[in-house]
Amino acid sequence: MEPRNPSEISELFCYDLPTRPLEGAGKILVSGASGYIGGRLVPELLARGYKVKAIVRGDPLAYKNTWPGAEVTRADALRKEDLRQALSGIEIAYYLIHSLHLGAKEFEKADILAACNFREIAQEQGLKRIIYLGGLGDVRSKLSSHLRSRAEVAAALRKGKVPVTVLRAAVIIGSGSASYEIIQHLVRTLPVIFVPGWARNKCQPVGVRDVIKYLVGALEAPRTCGESFDIGGRDVLTYEEMLRIFSRLLHKTTLFLPLPLVPLKWYAYFASLLTPVPHSISRCLLEGLKNEVICRNDAIKSLLPFEPLSYKEQIVRALSREEQDRVSTRWSDAYHPYYEFSLKLNEIKAPANYTVSYHLFTQKSAEGIFRSFCRIGGRRGWFYDNWLWRLRGTIDRIFLGAGTIRGRKSYSHLKINDVVDFFRVEDIQENRRLLLRAEMKIPGRAWLEFKVDEEKDIRKLSVIAYYNTRSILGKIYWYACLPLHHFVFQRLLDGIEKKG
Ligand SMILES: NC(=O)c1ccc[n+]([C@@H]2O[C@H](COP(=O)([O-])OP(=O)(O)OC[C@H]3O[C@@H](n4cnc5c(N)ncnc54)[C@H](OP(=O)(O)O)[C@@H]3O)[C@@H](O)[C@H]2O)c1
């Protein structure tokens, strides 16, 4: 199906793909659909006229408006029964499952188990093809745990009878990608960048739009079935060159000084303090910089002949997407590691044992008030006392929490599961309610609710903090924060009302 109008064309990555949509492909399954790549692949497939079944671990209803037309179903790849139901009736599946959020100790085990389950159930359900996006890196060399795991997942999937197309990519650059945000924040915040020895290794960054084109193209070019391909952008660069080019594009004067002996562990820790990407992810990604990740086989070029973007073009497109507030997926979209334990406020057995609520009455409209509290956090901040919120965020980051530096994907709109600094949206009801679940390091579970209620011809705006703890430390924390909450929440209400 051709895109219909020029604005739609500019939104789509695959409009100039040299392949045609596959006839009779049946329903295409996208696993890892809530992730950075999966979330961009689903709309492209829908726009090309495919029927799509997306699997997620969260609430499928949360994706109702994100991918109209797609069937969204809940499945955890660690549970074979879930996969059996999800893969029933499917012939072609994308495998984009990855658990990097679990951190260095946990993700490898989880990823290999998920891949083995997927292979087994795919074979049992008679799938005809799997398409997997993995990582570049020479498997004969000593790879970082992250790159090794990408290769192990490919090998695990290929052990079955279902043919697997493997696409291997290095760093993916696009608005919202973890690597892009790390580079951007380092360049924006540091006047002096110390360059470790491994920053001279070579990499072939690829733009997210080209990755999506290769993924869709692999589906539409039957000769890719069962084969492995390296995919990359136009340039081969060292990581230092990537930082320098970014700095020049931002018209910044950055001093680059060699610092050959800095241990990667320290670098990863400081990178996580200065960038929105949490330590669990940045450490795994930075470890991978010790390996050269460039394309060794260019067979994909003859099957999918299009010119990929240069590194500069990738950056410029990402910057302009951010500028226009059109970041469609972000690394933070995949769930927090503790998602299984993050019971919703309405799911906890006993009501939250500590609550505090503040409210004010206003003549302003419910729409205005709702719009105002949906703009909190990120680059706009928290109306007043931003330094206090930022201080709390920095303390959280020092202890490897999410921190306020995590920001938000869009500064103008929110949906369920989006992050807002160290919170995540748990519920949102148009012109009524925003419920945020805390993901900072605290001895308990916490939520912050914003509500606007109609009372005759006046509106009541409330901010309510809920806290659930059983530990002594948790109780001390609550009472220690109370005076601060009193001060901060009152002013937060004023700020919301003023901008409403
Ligand atoms: N992004 C990059 O820069 C990059 C670069 C090179 C290669 N790649 C490769 O591209 C692939 C996709 O990466 P990505 O960046 O899109 O990852 P991502 O944003 O971290 O998303 C991972 C996805 O996997 C899902 N998932 C994790 N464990 C699962 C389980 N047990 N059952 C079902 N779903 C599960 C997550 O769902 P939840 O939301 O429920 O957690 C999420 O949708 C990976 O193989 C990665 O190696 C990515």
pLDDT of residue 409: 94
Is 266 within 8 Å of 198 (Cβ atoms)?
Answer: no
Ligand 1 probe mutation, 30, 31, 37, 81, most atoms within 8 A of CB: 37
Q: Which helix (H) or strand (E) segment is 235 a member of?
A: none
* E strands in 97-227: 129-135, 164-169, 172-173, 192-195, 202-203, 206-207
CB atoms within 10 A of CB 259: 13
Average pLDDT over residues 145-163: 96
The conformational region for residue 26 under phi > 0 = left, psi -120 to 50 = alpha, else beta, is left
Does 79 share its domain with 119? yes
CB atoms within 10 A of CB 432: 15
The rounded mean pLDDT for the chain is 91
The DSSP letter of residue 161 is S
User: pLDDT at residue 201 above 80?
Assistant: yes
Question: Does 339 map to a domain?
Answer: no
Does 424 share its domain with 377? yes
Higher pLDDT, 112 or 279: 112
Ligand 1 pocket residues where CB is under 6 Å: 32-38, 56-58, 76-78, 96-100, 114, 133-135, 150, 169, 172, 177-179, 331, 334-335
Question: Does 269 map to a domain?
Answer: yes
Average pLDDT over residues 79-92: 97
Does 306 share its domain with 454? no
Task: Give the domain-ending residue among 289, 312, 328.
Answer: 328
C-alpha span between 129 and 490 (Å, rounded): 57
Question: Does 347 map to a domain?
Answer: no
**Residue 110 CA: which ligand 1 atom is closest?**
31
**Residue 37 CA: which ligand 1 atom is closest?**
16
Question: Does 336 map to a domain?
Answer: no
Residue with CA at minimum distance from ligand 1 atom 12: 96
Exposure pattern of 191-208 as b/e (b: 16+ CB <10 Å)?
eebebbebbebebbbbbb
Which CATH number covers residue 119? 3.40.50.720
Residue 53 buriedness (CB in 10 A; 0-12 / 13-18 / 19+): buried
Task: Look up residue 85 and give its two tokens.
Answer: 């139901």
CA 248 to ligand 1 centroid distance, Å: 31
Residue with CA at minimum distance from ligand 1 atom 3: 172
Does 359 share its domain with 484? yes
Confidence of residue 120 (pLDDT cuts 50, 70, 90): very high
Ligand 1 probe mutation, 73, 96, 183, most atoms within 8 A of CB: 96
Task: Look up residue 412 and give its two tokens.
Answer: 């103008």
Does 322 share its domain with 364? no
Q: How many domains does the chain have?
A: 2
Residue 449's φ and ψ, nearest 5 degrees, are -115, 140
Closest by CA position to 316, among listed 466, 173, 469: 173
Task: Look up residue 37 and give its two tokens.
Answer: 């790549």
Task: Look up residue 490 and give its two tokens.
Answer: 């009152």
pLDDT of residue 223: 95
pTM: 0.92
User: pLDDT at residue 213 above 50?
Assistant: yes
Task: Look up residue 410 and give its two tokens.
Answer: 């869009």
Ligand 1 probe mutation, 30, 31, 36, most atoms within 8 A of CB: 36
Closest by CA position to 33, among listed 17, 46, 20: 46
Does 192 share its domain with 65? yes
**Residue 75 CA: which ligand 1 atom is closest?**
33
Does 441 share its domain with 481? yes
Instruction: For residue 389, give its domain range.
Output: 354-499
Task: Look up residue 169 and give its two tokens.
Answer: 């990519």
User: pLDDT at residue 265 above 60?
Assistant: yes
Average pLDDT over residues 51-72: 92
User: pLDDT at residue 4 above 70?
Assistant: no
pLDDT of residue 346: 72
Question: Does 346 map to a domain?
Answer: no
Average pLDDT over residues 105-115: 93
Question: Does 113 map to a domain?
Answer: yes
pLDDT of residue 3: 42
Question: Does 274 map to a domain?
Answer: yes
Q: Which residues, at least 6 apart from 176, have a Cβ–Cβ distance to it below 8 Å?
A: 36, 327, 328, 329, 330, 331, 409
Give the tens place of pLDDT for each residue, 343-356: 677 766 666 789 99
Does 292 share its domain with 434? no
Question: Does 1 map to a domain?
Answer: no
